[in-house]
Structure 1
Amino acid sequence: MIEAGFNLVSQFLSELFASLVSLLKVAIRGRHATHLPDRQLLVCSVLGNGPSLKESLSEQFDFIRQTEIVCVNNFAHADIFTHLRPQDYVISDPNYFVFTEQTTDRDDIRRTLYVFLEQVNWPMILYVPHFAKGSYLLGKIEQGNPLIKVVYFNYTVVRGFKWLVYWLYAKGLGMPQAQTVIIAALALMINRKFETIYLFGADTSWHEEIRLNDKNQLLIKQIHFYDKPKDVSHQPVYSDAHRQRTFSMASQFLSFHKVFRGYEVLRDYADHRGVRIVNASAKSYIDAFERESISQSVNQ
């Protein structure tokens, strides 16, 4: 009984402290509140870039086309991008926003920019964190393609009392920790109040591709559905800008923990907002969301 009482007091004080820190962060960044557009349909599909998306696009293409489509990061590299013509696109990778015309080692970002400027000929909303404002990439997009509307979201990570955290989420003043772009995309779509959000291509299977070389360097092979197998190999995952040291195994698995914990936070928030999230990925390690077989039609 005494131990349980100490645990309750400790939890309360921890949540109180986290709430106060979150309110301080919001007070500093509150002028950057997120203002989201209305949903276009009742149902949306969030497409991750995991290898299993290839199977989902083959078998569920017609279903996905009937929903509002949300793509992320480098999805534009796929040939199917211009056939899907997604209404929404979320980029949260900070490397996109330090990219300049002089950058020589990010051909992937250059390719995404080219597709946005030269091939997107339909209305599309691009969601990026507020700190991206004024970046070279956003300047080129806003000047070069009037069909792409940029929406800035407030990526202020907030924690604390659940009632407070949910209120800050709903007001666009805070978000869960988005360890992956999928978490950011789901948080945004929950706040757009879709009735159902289907998640595809969220394999979350990076642990299957971890290797350790004879120098104790951590290597990961990051495979996307649009990659050609011969072009993908195990690469060091560096923890510093000078590429001298890779992440430790402990820190890498802590990062994985943050990903899966983020999905649990989103599940509870979606329940609070009356939004249903279905993990329809052909392969996935995410256990936070319900799974079900997908029919080929959807009420709109």
Structure 2
Amino acid sequence: MLEAGFNSVNQFLSEFVKSLLSLVKVVIRGRHMARLPIRQLPVCSVLGNGPSLNESLADHFDFIQQTEVVCVNNFAHADIFLRLRPQDYVISDPNYFVFTEQTTDRDDIRRTLSIFLEHVNWPMSLYVPHFAKGSYLLGQIERGNPQIKVVYFNYTVVSGFRWLTYWLYSKGLGMPQAQTVIIAALTLMINRRFETIYLFGADTSWHEQIRLNDQNQLLIKQIHFYDKPKDVTHQPVYSDKYRQRTFSMASQFLSLHKVFRGYEVIRNYADHKGVTILNASAKSYIDAFERTQIKWPVASK
């Protein structure tokens, strides 16, 4: 009885401290409320870049095209990007926003920028964190392609009392920890008040590709649906800018824990907002969302 009471008080104090720290972060970093565009349809499809997306696009392209389509990060590298013509695109990788004309080691970012400038000839909203404002990449896009509307969101991680964090989420003043871009994309689409969100290409199977070499270096082979598997090899995952030390196995699995915990947080927030998230990925380790088989046609309003 005494222990239960102690645990209850300890939990309250922990949530109180987290809430207080979250409010301080919001005051310092999150003063710009996100202004999200009105949804175009009641249903959207969020497309991760996992290898299984190839199967989903082959089997369900017509279904996906009938929903509002949300792509992420380097999806534009795929030939199907120009056929799909997504209405929404989310980039949260901070490397995009330190990229400059002089950057020599990020051909993937240069390629994405080139595609945005030269080939996007339809209206598309590009969602990026507010700290990206003023970056070289966004300057090029805003000056070079009027079809792309940049939408800024706050990536201020907040936690604490659930009623407070949900209020901060809904006001665009904070987000759950977005260990992957999919978590950020789902948060944004929940706040745009879609009725149903379908998730494709969310394999979340990185643990299958973890290796340890004879020097105890952590290696990962990161395969995306647009890659040619024979061109992708296991590479060290460095923890320092001097590329001397890789992440430990413990830290790598802690990072994976944050990914899966983030999905649980998003599921609870979606339930609170009356939004249904359905995992339609051909392959996925995510257990937070209900798995589903595609039903056709999509109801329209």
TM-score interval, smaller chain: over 0.9
CA RMSD of aligned residues (A): 0.6
Q: Deviations over 1:91-142 (max 9, x none)?
A: 0000000000110110000000000000000000000000000000000000
Matches within 5 A, 1:143-292: 143-292=143-292
Q: TM-score, normalised by structure 1?
A: 0.99
Instruction: Give the letter aligned to residue 281 of structure 1.
Output: S
| Alpha-carbon distance between aligned partners in 2 of 1:217 and 1:124, rounded to the nearest angstrom | 41
| 1:23 aligned residue | 23
Distance across 2 between alignment mates of 1:242 and 1:32: 35
The residue identity in structure 2 corresponding to 1:18 is K
**1:3 aligned residue:** 3
Runs of 4+ in 1 over 3 A off after TM superposition: none
Are 1:59 and 2:41 matched, yes or no?
no
Deviation digits for residues 24-75 of structure 1 (CA, Å, limit 9, x no counterpart): 1111124221110100000000000000000000001010000000000000
The residue matched to 1:31 in structure 2 has which SS? coil
What SS does the aligned partner of 2:126 have? strand
Please give the alpha-carbon distance, in whole angstroms, between the structure 2 residues aligned to 1:189 and 1:298.
Answer: 18
Is the partner of 2:61 in helix, strand or coil? helix
Partner-residue secondary structure (3-state), 2:31: helix
Give the residue type in structure 1 aligned to 2:131: F
Aligned length: 300
Q: Give the AA of the match of 1:86.
A: P
Query: What residue in structure 1 maps to residue 93 of structure 2?
Result: 93
**Within-5 A mapping of 1:128-143:** 128-143=128-143
Q: Name the CA distance, whole Å, in 2 between partners of 1:34 and 1:13.
A: 30
Q: What is the CA deviation profile of residues 243-273 of structure 1, one whole-angstrom value per residue up to 9, with x for unaligned ones?
A: 1110000000000000000000000000000
Deviates more, 1:48-57 or 1:31-40: 31-40
Residues in 1 aligned to 2:93 and 2:11: alpha-carbon distance in whole angstroms: 33
* Contact 2:238-2:245 at 8 Å conserved across structures: yes
Gaps of 5+ in 2: none
SS of match in other structure, 1:32: coil
Q: Which amino acid aligns with 1:263?
A: Y
Between the aligned partners of 2:179 and 2:149, the Cα distance in structure 1 is 25
Following TM superposition, by how much is the alpha carbon of 1:297 offset from its aligned partner in structure 2, in angstroms?
Answer: 1.3
TM-aligned CA deviation for residue 292 of structure 1: 1.3
**Contact preservation (8 Å) 2:280, 2:292:** yes
CA contact (8 A) 2:30 2:156 kept: no
Give the whole-Å Cα distance in 1 for the aligned partners of 2:134 and 2:6: 49
Q: Secondary structure at the match of 2:70?
A: strand
Answer yes or no: is the 8 Å Cα contact 1:279–1:291 preserved in 2.
Answer: yes
Distance in 2, matches of 1:218 and 1:258, equals: 19
State whether residues 201 and 283 of structure 1, in contact with CA within 8 Å, keep that contact through their aligned partners in structure 2.
yes
